[in-house]
């Protein structure tokens, strides 16, 4: 059995515990001391069952107490000294979790100046890289919470998809949304659903799409609502996807019906993410060959974008199945049936059909 008292920056404690249960806490002296008090209230004392457990102060090289390290000790190595305002304290892993949570909660609602690091072996080569990644993640989480209005849970989830070390570009994106009168709630929703938008070029990627929608006749309110519901349109190519989609839709609509009003009735611009040549044109031809009116095809594009995402062969099979059910291609309900059949796998459809039949309903 091996036990050692480690004193760093005037703060000491001793533990003899199994290596997998013993952890270290390295960070600003005042915080480490506070956590020591938490531990003394949360535990009954050191375990008498031990293997060799060593905790080493880390030469992190981060001035000003910017990093708080959490983790398990190495299996070997000599304790060193902590730099500057750093202190090191050994404590049970369960208590480390409590301390980490308390520190995180204490920083909610303001800029996070403390970085969190959890390392299995602080002496391994990837240690500095792990600190760098974790610090970047904490910075991103802080920005998403404080500047974008995301909850802590949503910010942590979003930070897995986007990382940045400067607020310059994200700030520009937020200013663009505010310029076009997106509400705070809408901005929060967009970033929560599609955080990568914060890395977009606001002048070259985002604003041209918004301007194009305005030129078509959409109001600011319409644009805000549609892009909030389908924010990934913001990353769709204007030249190769959005404009061709609108042009195709124009050819399908009756002359008296405006594209804008048709989209407003449909309630979505999700179809703007569809590749016209790959997804739309082949399906339009399949339906036209059956005598489906262009106005009905336009309706399907507006309300059934999931059906349009399907592989063309699968879409053709769904159309054949609808025909076998007895739906008239020239009727208004045909495209609704295609949408429903395309959106549910065949096994699930059979189960649902069985339920309808058991209730006395018939097809056709």
Mean pLDDT by 10 residues, the chain (364 residues): 33 34 54 54 34 29 38 39 44 48 45 40 40 59 93 92 91 96 96 95 96 93 93 92 92 81 82 89 95 93 84 92 92 92 75 72 60
Structure confidence at residue 44 (pLDDT) = 37
Q: Could you tell me the CA-to-CA distances from 191 to 75, 194, 238, 268 in Å, in that order?
A: 43, 5, 20, 19
* Angle, CA 288 vertex, CA 314 and CA 266 arms, to 5°: 80
Residue 144's Cβ-side half-sphere holds a number of Cα atoms within 13 Å equal to 33
Structure tokens at 209: 């799409």
Give the dihedral of Cα atoms 333, 337, 339, 345; nearest 10 deg. Answer: 170
End-to-end CA distance of the chain: 81
* Angle, CA 60 vertex, CA 57 and CA 64 arms, to 5°: 105
Structure confidence at residue 17 (pLDDT) = 32
Does the pTM exceed 0.75?
Answer: no
**Max intra-chain CA distance, the chain:** 88
Structure confidence at residue 138 (pLDDT) = 82
**What Rg value do the Cα atoms of the chain yield, rounded?**
30
- Which of 185, 269, 266 minimizes the C-alpha distance to 227? 269
* Angle, CA 346 vertex, CA 343 and CA 349 arms, to 5°: 75
Structure confidence at residue 42 (pLDDT) = 39
């Amino acid at each position: 059995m091996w036990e050692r008292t480690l004193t760093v920056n005037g703060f000491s404690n001793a533990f003899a515990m199994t290596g997998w249960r013993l952890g270290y806490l390295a960070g600003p002296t005042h915080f480490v001391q506070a956590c020591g008090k938490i531990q003394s209230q949360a535990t009954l004392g050191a375990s008498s069952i031990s293997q060799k457990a060593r905790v080493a102060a880390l030469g992190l090289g981060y001035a000003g107490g910017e990093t708080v390290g959490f983790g398990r000790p190495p299996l070997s190595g000599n304790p060193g000294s902590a730099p500057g305002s750093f202190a090191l304290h050994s404590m049970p892993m369960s208590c480390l979790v409590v301390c980490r949570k308390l520190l995180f909660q204490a920083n909610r609602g303001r800029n996070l100046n403390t970085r969190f690091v959890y390392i299995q072996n602080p002496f391994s080569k990837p240690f500095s890289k792990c600190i760098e990644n974790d610090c970047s993640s904490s910075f991103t989480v802080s920005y998403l919470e404080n500047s974008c209005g995301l909850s802590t849970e949503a910010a942590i989830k979003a930070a897995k998809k986007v990382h940045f070390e400067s607020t310059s570009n994200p700030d520009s994106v937020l200013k663009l949304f505010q310029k076009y009168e997106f509400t705070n709630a809408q901005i929060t929703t967009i970033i929560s659903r599609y955080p990568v938008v914060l890395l977009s070029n606001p002048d070259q990627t985002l604003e041209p799409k918004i301007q194009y929608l305005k030129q078509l006749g959409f109001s600011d309110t319409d644009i805000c609502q549609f892009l909030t519901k389908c924010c990934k349109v913001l990353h769709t190519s204007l030249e190769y996807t959005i404009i061709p989609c609108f042009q195709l839709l124009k050819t399908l609509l009756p002359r008296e019906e405006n594209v804008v009003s048709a989209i407003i009735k449909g309630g979505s611009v999700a179809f703007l993410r569809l590749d016209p040549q790959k997804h739309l044109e082949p399906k339009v031809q399949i339906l036209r060959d059956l005598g489906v009116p262009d106005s009905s095809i336009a309706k399907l594009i507006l309300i059934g974008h999931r059906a349009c995402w399907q592989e063309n062969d699968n879409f053709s099979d769904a159309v054949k199945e609808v025909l076998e059910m007895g739906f008239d291609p020239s009727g208004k309900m045909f495209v609704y049936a295609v949408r429903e059949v395309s959106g549910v796998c065949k096994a699930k459809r059979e189960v649902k059909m069985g339920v309808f039949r058991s209730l006395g309903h018939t097809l056709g």
